[in-house]
Chains A and B, each alone.
Chain A
Amino acid sequence: MEALILTIIATSIPLLLAATGELIAEKSGVLNLGVEGMMLSGAVGALGAVLWLENPYYGIIAGALSGILMASIFSLFTINFMTNQVATGLGLTIFATGLTGLAGAPLVGKTIPSLPKIEIFLLSDIPLIGSILFKQDFVAYLSIGIIIFISFFLKYSKSGIILRAVGDDHQSAHSVGYPVKKIRWYTTCFGGMCAGIGGAYIPLVLTPHWSEGMTAGRGWIALALVVFASWIPWRIIVGALIFGGITIAQLVGQARGWPIPSQLLSMMPYIATIIALTMISGRLSKNNSVVPSSLGKPFFGSQ
């Protein structure tokens, strides 16, 4: 049981990170559909860095930087050149898939040391809970840290409130004098950083090798998670664990011979997302929608 829970947690972390980053970007009104591409570049960057510098911690930094690099391309085009966000995001994934394939070619067939587990003194000795909560790797702690940070940031800090204002009505935010474009650059790059680290987690912890397209669609699930969480950070943890849990439950069910078609089980997270979304949206009136109102809309105006 303990091993299964650890597996669920491990498989959820890339989703969790990528979704958290995307949440911040979306809160400021940027819909970046290039998460898959940013995760891929994080993965290839991390693996390359670890092979070169022989220390898995550099992989985290390299993953973050690779993600930021991809996000800057997205920002440059959508924010400065005002291209359509949906199309540019899809383009970014095409671009990044090609780029990572090219950059990763020399890395095929190589393996790296994994990120070590960090045991927190004494706490890690508590039975069951200890090894689940206090015997994780650095990125796992980091991801929880990021979520706690942005929860408070969005709710209580002045910058967080400005960020939300930019996402809800960029025209008003602009007329009050907030630098809409600058803020969106920051949030998009933060999103890229998180997605990059999420992607880096795959070679750093889950399967320490590189192969083309190894994220296999997890970037898209991250997008779903943001919605599932209705743009509330802590709910991403719940959502990621449900996604991870259903994936693992489906595998366990097969190993134990439960007679349910695996495709139907695999559908569940997506259907659950739609239902969750419906329930959230239904409860709130149109004016009080949780969806950032400027989401996906380009902003022009000089700064």
Chain B
Amino acid sequence: MITFIPRDKVSKNWIIIAPILSIVFTIFFGLLIFTFLGYNPLETLYQIFVSPFSRIDRISDILVKACPLIIIGTGLMLCFKSNVWNIGAEGQFIMGALLAGFIALSFPNIETKFFLLITILAGFVGGALWAFIPAILKTKLNVNEILVSLMLVYVAMLFIDFIVRGPLRDPMSFGFPLSKPYPEGALINKIPFPGIGFLGQLHYGILFVFLLVPISWIFVNKTLGGFKINVLGSAPQAAKFAGFKQNSITITVLLLSGGLAGVAGVIEVSANIGQLQPEVSFGYGFTAIIVAFLGRLSPVGILFAGIIIATVKLGADNAQMTMGIPKVVTGLFEGILLFFLLTGETLQKYKIKWSEGKK
């Protein structure tokens, strides 16, 4: 019988040991599954974990894939830290992209890149507005935000579908559901490297991540706002005594996380798609929830978690291209990886005690 005993504080050693153990367990199960299904297990593991780092442009593709996950995950971190369960980032992502897209398409000839500031702001507002609904319902009427934010995901999905097939459809698209292409001013360019050209899809939007991670680290660890969020999450009673206004914190973190999800939406569409289409988010909002937890709700952790998830997704594609391993197998493997990574978190917080049988 195994029992867990809480540690007084998160163990420093286990911060390193736990993820390694998780990976070891995953690899062990991976070896079993791949062997059982008749694929070369070592080569499969190589394709999934190592091949994404085997070329510089592949590494840049990891960054591109991780970019929206890290941005959304950082916003969600603020929510989850203060015990506000926003699981509707997918909808906020969509509404941010949609509002920014609407503004971009309203100025079809604009060329200056300063316009990007406006569309990104619009994305923030769009996402924040969508998150404002659960925020106001939660604080004024005590409505559970988990479910409101989740419901709003479906409303957002249907709404963009309606807009792209109706009002914003490009008349030249033969009835296909696509908007007109964005004007030059609303596009995020790829980064040119002298002598190499472009590296995969690497675009300037990545810079936002490099800004966001340190800023959020400072916010969480060094400012009063971050302190309040931490206290509210870990000791709500203490927060009450200290006179923190719980409602205003709840609203703030929801608006921030919605806004960041919206910005992720703008970056994703402006850099990688260049027009509105019925599907702009591909589950990023949900995957980012996993990223936030894998990252142990810390900015640096989320950076790494985003990269891990992106790596495995890319590696799965590589495994399919070179070895013909179908997506269902790598999906299965991904699920196992998640389970063990999440278990790793428990090992950091709790000590294991082996006891003989049950009392």
Contacts and interface: CB of A to CB of B under 8 A. Distances in A.
Pairing of A with B = yes
Interface of A: 31, 33, 73, 77, 80-84, 86-88, 90-92, 94-99, 101-102, 105, 212, 220, 223-224, 227, 261, 263-264, 266-267, 270-271, 273-274, 277-278, 281-282, 284, 286, 289, 291, 296, 300, 302-303
A235 to B, nearest CB: 14
Given A87-B294, A267-B155, A77 B146 contact: no
Interface residues of B, number: 54
Interface string B269-313: 000000000000000001101100110000000000000000000
A42 B287 CA distance: 24
Contacts, number: 149
A33 B146 CA distance: 11
B141 interface: yes
Nearest to A266: B158
B120 to A, nearest CB: 27
B266 to A, nearest CB: 23
A270 B290 contact: no
Nearest to A37: B335
Contact of B335 (A33, A92, A227, A273): A92
Contacts of A101: 326-328, 331
B332 A98 contact: yes
A-B pairs, 4 with minimum CB distance: A95-B335, A98-B331, A101-B328, A98-B332
B196 to A, nearest CB: 35
B121 interface: no
A73 B294 CA distance: 18
B292 to A, nearest CB: 8
| B interface SS class | helix
Contacts of A227: 144, 147, 151
B293 A84 contact: yes
B276 to A, nearest CB: 15
Given A81-B346, A91-B290, A274-B137, 11 more contacts: A83-B346, A90-B289, A90-B290, A91-B338, A95-B332, A97-B331, A263-B159, A267-B155, A270-B154, A291-B144, A296-B85
Given A81-B343, A281-B144, A220 B150 contact: yes
B162 A261 contact: yes
A84 B345 contact: yes
10 contacts: A83-B342, A83-B346, A88-B338, A96-B335, A98-B329, A101-B326, A102-B332, A224-B150, A271-B155, A281-B144
Contacts of B330: 98
Interface string B84-105: 0101000000000000000000
Nearest to B3: A302
A278 B342 contact: no
B166 interface: yes
A287 B326 CA distance: 51
